[in-house]
């Protein structure tokens, strides 16, 4: 989530958020964001940087992290969020025109290249950790807004809420039922069981190839959300199961390297009650083993449905959250940094697959541009070569994939094969 109000000295960065500061490197930037597609056909003109700046200025009082930067860390104390007096608006908010020299729109391919380029750039820590890009010249009557914030500021749910907040839309979490999250006694019992399970979970036998740079490939795939849900029901599966199956099937068809027979995938799940205004990260990852061999996709899905049943007990999620927040909070930063780098990334899983809730209502960007859909932008974990993310947004199953070109050099082909997997099912 995002939010929070700074104290006089500044809020100390929680351990679960500082985790993503520690695992970041030049080869693995760790910002999250959204690619928001907007309809410009009914507006007087294309969206502008000036309009974005005006609306963000109006919202700054509700976005404390937009006005704060990190303090200098030490070996023994986590950094704080401290006021940043003067925002460099020319850096934080930019306008990019993808039109070609002939004035024709650059198309989705050009937009995908732009997102890949921006995803590879570190956010400097001497200023607030966010950027907004107003993009024109995408397609006729179609523009885009790209927002990026550091993972220490927001997780995927927080990024969705940030987009909605900026666009004068209701908070995603307002009115959500928190009763599904366990009470204290159940958390303790579940945490004990989960810690034992985490300790005995498998580790990858084979590491997938990665490069030593932050170069990325990026692509999107919009699908009808109701159709995806209907397909999942017809197969006795959940939408996340379909997402894992499509990912594994696409990898099997397009990967530019020999593959192991199975792959451990990191699946982030909600690990704490989400409330309006809650700051930081409220998800925790659990590992799912998916088959990568050549097989009928119905068989692959059946194996995944069986494997994901353990996710529904909640014990691993509780234990993972306990480690990320309570245990990590007791560690000095020097130890926490070592711990974060030791337990997160390619030594423990081969990639990340994330299914996030989005808005079920129509929203409007910059006051006059209806949102067509919104795609998640998710960082690739260190030492892994791919991430697949989905937002269920106003009837659209909005899928993105980011890949390391050492593993999959053609993300567009990846989403094409993902579609074929669903067609086969």
pLDDT of residue 222: 96
**pLDDT for position 363:** 78
Residue (of 48, 52, 59, 120) closest to 92 by Cα position: 52
- Domains of the chain, first to last: 15-166 (3.30.559.10)
- pLDDT value at position 171? 64
Q: Apex CA 110: angle with CA 109 and CA 111, to 5°?
A: 90
Burial of 406 (0-12, 13-18, 19+ CB in 10 A): middle
Distances (CA, A) of 98 to 95, 118, 133: 10, 14, 12
The residue assigned the tokens 């925002």 is 87
The span from the CA of 291 to the CA of 344, in Å, is 22
For residue 200, the model assigns a pLDDT of 43
pLDDT value for 419: 97
Q: Helix, strand, coil % (nearest 5) of the chain? A: 35, 25, 40
The rounded distance, in Å, linking the Cα atoms of 73 and 425 is 51
Is residue 260 within 8 Å of 290, Cβ to Cβ? Answer: no
Tokens 């170069």, located at residue: 215
The reported pLDDT for the residue numbered 10 is 72
Q: Kindly give the confidence (pLDDT) of every residue in the chain, 425 residues in length, as a single tens digit, with 9 standing for 90 and above.
A: 444 444 446 788 888 888 889 899 999 999 999 999 999 998 888 899 999 999 999 888 888 899 999 998 777 888 899 999 899 999 999 999 999 999 999 999 999 999 999 999 999 999 999 999 999 999 999 999 999 999 888 766 677 777 777 776 666 665 444 444 444 444 433 333 333 344 445 666 788 999 999 999 999 999 999 999 999 999 999 999 999 999 999 999 999 888 999 999 988 865 444 444 445 444 566 888 999 999 999 999 999 999 988 666 555 555 565 566 666 666 788 887 888 888 788 888 999 999 887 777 777 877 788 889 899 999 999 999 999 999 988 889 999 999 999 999 999 999 999 999 999 99
| R_g over Cα of the chain | 21
Other Cβ atoms closer than 10 A to 97: 15
């Amino acid at each position: 989530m995002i939010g929070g109000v700074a104290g006089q000295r500044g809020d100390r960065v929680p351990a679960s958020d500082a985790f993503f500061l520690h695992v970041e490197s030049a080869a693995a930037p760790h910002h999250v964001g959204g690619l928001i597609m907007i309809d410009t056909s009914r507006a007087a003109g294309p969206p502008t940087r000036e309009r974005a700046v005006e609306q963000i200025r109006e919202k700054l009082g509700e976005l404390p992290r937009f006005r704060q930067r990190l303090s200098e860390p030490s070996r023994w104390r986590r950094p704080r969020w401290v006021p940043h007096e003067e925002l460099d608006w020319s850096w934080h908010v930019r306008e990019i025109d993808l039109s070609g020299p002939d004035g024709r729109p650059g198309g989705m391919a050009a937009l995908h290249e732009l997102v890949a380029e921006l995803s590879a750039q570190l956010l400097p820590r001497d200023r607030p950790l966010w950027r907004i890009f107003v993009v024109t010249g995408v397609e006729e009557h179609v523009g885009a807004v790209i927002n990026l914030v550091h993972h220490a500021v927001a997780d995927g749910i927080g990024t969705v809420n940030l987009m909605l907040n900026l666009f004068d839309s209701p908070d995603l979490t307002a009115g959500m039922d928190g009763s599904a999250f366990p009470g204290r006694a159940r958390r303790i019992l579940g945490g004990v069981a989960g810690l034992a399970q985490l300790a005995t979970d498998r580790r990858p036998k084979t590491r997938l190839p990665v490069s030593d740079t932050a170069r990325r490939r990026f692509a999107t795939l919009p699908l009808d959300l109701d159709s995806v849900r209907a397909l999942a029901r017809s197969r006795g599966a959940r939408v996340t199961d379909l997402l894992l199956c499509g990912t594994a099937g696409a990898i099997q068809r397009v990967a530019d390297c020999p593959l192991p027979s199975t792959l451990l995938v990191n699946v982030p799940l909600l690990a704490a009650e989400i409330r309006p205004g809650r700051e930081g990260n409220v998800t925790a990852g659990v590992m799912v083993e998916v088959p990568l061999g050549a097989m009928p996709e119905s068989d692959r899905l059946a194996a995944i449905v069986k494997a994901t049943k353990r996710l529904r007990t909640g014990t691993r999620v509780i234990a993972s959250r306990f480690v990320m927040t309570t245990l990590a909070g007791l560690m000095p930063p020097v130890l926490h940094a070592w711990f974060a780098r030791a337990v997160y990334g390619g030594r423990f899983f081969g990639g990340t697959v994330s299914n996030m809730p989005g808005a079920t209502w129509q929203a409007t960007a910059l006051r006059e541009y209806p949102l067509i859909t919104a795609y998640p932008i998710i960082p690739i974990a260190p030492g892994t070569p791919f991430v697949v993310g989905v937002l269920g947004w106003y009837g659209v199953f909005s899928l993105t994939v980011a890949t390391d070109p050492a593993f999959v050099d053609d993300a567009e082909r990846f989403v094409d094969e993902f579609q074929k997997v669903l067609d086969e099912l």
